[in-house]
Amino acid sequence: MNETKPTSRQQKILDFLAKTTPKTRAEIAKEANLEEKVSKITLLRDLNSLIDQGLLATEGKGRYVKYKTTRKTGLLSPVGLDNYFETPPDSRTLKSENFNFSVFSALKSAKLLNPKEEAIFEQGREKLTKKFKTLDPTIIRKELERFTIELSWKSSQIEGNTYSLLETEELIKNKKEAKGHSKEEALMILNHKEAFGTILEHKKDYREISLHDLRALHATLTKDLEIKEGLRKHAVGITGTKYIPLDNQQQITEALEKTLRLLKNEKSIPEKALLLLAMISYIQPFGDGNKRTSRMISNALLLANGYYPLSYRSVDEVEYKKALLLFYEQNNLFHLKRLFVEQQEFAVKSYFI
């Protein structure tokens, strides 16, 4: 496997060619907005490097040769996140403005994590197994409490909650609501605590995920928040994108069942957890609370199988939302996978140390 990553200039070339027809070297130099004058030799070197990486192909010969993206520039290909979102939502060309059922075959056939990424999860699993066997039970309880606080805070913050980490700690440990915040914000955090507590108490039940598990965790996460339980029966829109999720319960159920069948495929547990994180958000099966449900069900699968769950404590919430939107619009998993792996590295370094 070639794990060479494109340079920032090469990434701009890829982003440009992904949105247009095949182009000659001269056209790329003129139209790709490389923000610097690049010599013919340097540009050819970049183009040849991208061909070697399997990210570009050519058509034609001699002076008429043109460059185009390959099929590899899809599910896991590098995409410049900031560059992509420079284009306003209504001007972006989406792979599909509606739910794309062909994503299932792409996910089924792809190896989502490379050996180095898999090793991060396996090393964490070995460490966590050892810690649970050797640490004093009091320390384990305190670490789990700390993790619960940080997960509840960050996952709620991603949803717009304005509680600080210290205010979240006070709420969870002492049931003291912070001044200047709504009752709903406190409920959102406490619901996260309860949902993760359920996962811890019934850990073995989540070794395989069912539709019932998904609906039950959603119900806990949205309890008393005026969010209707069960699969939605109406259309929903998503802020900042032209992507429109499925709008009827029959197709939503079909998409969920296909997702759960993917989990039975020959994939590792971390890959299955990544699938849940991406697909529950993409399907948007509930009227609200989809992203927090995706994070919690993904964590349930990881923890049930001995892996570190993710608190997302160090993730930038805007970057996380952009990574999701990129998957919605282009079915590109590159940045969501990157954040997923980075948060596993963070968890291994930060909890049960």
Residue 297, domain extent: 103-350
Residue 1: predicted pLDDT: 37
In a domain, 78, yes or no: no
Q: Is 77 helix (H, G, I), strand (E, B) or coil?
A: coil
What is the CA 204 to chain-centroid distance, rounded? Answer: 24
In a domain, 97, yes or no: no
User: Residues 193, 51: one domain?
Assistant: no
Residue 351: predicted pLDDT: 96
Q: Is 115 helix (H, G, I), strand (E, B) or coil?
A: helix
Q: What angle is formed at CA 48 by the lines to CA 46 and CA 50, rounded to 5 degrees? A: 70
The number of folded domains in the chain is: 2
CATH code of the domain in which 322 resides: 1.10.3290.10
User: Residues 66, 142: one domain?
Assistant: no
In a domain, 85, yes or no: no
Residue 71: predicted pLDDT: 52
> How much helix, strand and coil, in percent to the nearest 5, is found in the chain?
60, 5, 40
CATH code of the domain in which 24 resides: 1.10.10.10
In a domain, 151, yes or no: yes
- Which DSSP helix (H) or strand (E) runs through 327? helix 317-330
Walking along the chain (353 residues) 10 residues at a time, the average pLDDT comes out as 69 82 89 81 92 87 85 73 89 91 92 94 97 94 97 98 98 97 98 98 96 97 94 94 96 97 92 98 97 98 98 97 96 96 97 91
User: Residues 276, 192: one domain?
Assistant: yes
Block residue for tokens 């999720």: 245
User: Residues 233, 322: one domain?
Assistant: yes
User: Residues 68, 109: one domain?
Assistant: no
User: Residues 34, 130: one domain?
Assistant: no
In a domain, 134, yes or no: yes
User: Residues 200, 331: one domain?
Assistant: yes
User: Residues 166, 49: one domain?
Assistant: no
Q: How far apart are CA 220 and CA 198, in angstroms?
A: 9
Pairing label, strands 66-69, 56-59: antiparallel
